[in-house]
Amino acid sequence: MSSQARFILTPEALQHRPVVLSGTDAHHCQTLRLKVNERVFVSDGRKKEYIARVIRFVKYGVELELLEETQRNPESWLAITLYQGFARGSKLDLVIQKTTELGVSRIVPVISEYSQIKPKAEREHRRDRWQEIARQAVRQSGRIQLPEIASPCSFSESLEHKLETSVGILFSTTSPEHENWENQLRSLAPVQAVSLWVGPEGGFSKQEVHQAREQGLYTIGLSSRVLRSETAGITAVTLAQFVWGDLGGRKYR
């Protein structure tokens, strides 16, 4: 069975018999040159994954028969929410793609004081694009669960979203050298949920850093070098998965 033959459907779509792949999923079947009776993986974007068999190719798509539920669990035990500073162009697309591959649970675009672009109401359609990017990244990386892509919010609103049980970390280019990951976070007990704040191109303002500290967030420096916003977001998720998650080959906590 091809490791690339993976499809992410809705729980509702998996209730139909036969299960139907349509649109880009049907086109992907053609790209992979799948044939009748070949096996593929399909998941509900949440927690369930199934092995399915290609039954037939029809005008409206590809029909599948569900055979059995898999017991595979590729998801990290660490729930990561990334509050990513809103960036220009396709930078946010890259962050969504790569952090989804790394196992992020939720991504929230944040408009902060130094954001160089302000999303307008008519740009809400970009969320559909971001969700499709995440879906394709889930399929490519072999994940089962789709991360949530939230609507953009203000920095103040993002601070109100933080879960009580979540460790909150804001990455600031103005943090003193002693305020680094090693000094502040290594001593924490095992973490099950973490919220990460990464600024836009101009970083976070002093007022925002102060506001974050008042809300109980750790403020740390990510590097002695200046990282692009998209680089910082991907690096932050990577570090969190390495310190508390399953990155590095760890199978158990």
Residues 68-97: pLDDT tens digits?
Answer: 999 888 999 999 999 999 877 788 999 999
Instruction: Tell me how far apart the alpha carbons of residues 76 and 253 are, in angstroms, rounded to a whole number.
Output: 10
Confidence of residue 2 (pLDDT cuts 50, 70, 90): very low
Residues 154-186: pLDDT tens digits?
Answer: 999 999 887 666 899 999 877 766 677 777 777
- Per-residue confidence (pLDDT) for residue 118, from 0 to 100: 64
Amino acid 124 reads: E
Helix axis angle for 229-243 and 91-102, nearest 10°, is: 10
Residues 95-141: pLDDT tens digits?
Answer: 999 999 999 999 999 999 878 766 664 456 688 899 999 999 999 99
Residues 18-57: pLDDT tens digits?
Answer: 999 998 888 888 888 999 999 999 999 988 999 999 999 9
Give burial (CB, 10 Å; 0-12/13-18/19+) of 80. Answer: buried
Domains and CATH numbers, the chain: 6-69 (2.40.240.20), 79-243 (3.40.1280.10)
Are 189 and 233 in contact by the 8 Å Cβ rule? The answer is: no
- Is the overall model pTM greater than 0.75, yes or no? yes
* Per-residue CA distances from 138 to 1, 102, 114, 142, 160 (Å): 18, 10, 31, 6, 28
Confidence of residue 1 (pLDDT cuts 50, 70, 90): very low
Instruction: Tell me how far apart the alpha carbons of residues 131 and 142 are, in angstroms, rounded to a whole number.
Output: 16
In this structure, how many other beta carbons lie within 10 angstroms of the beta carbon of residue 249? Answer: 5
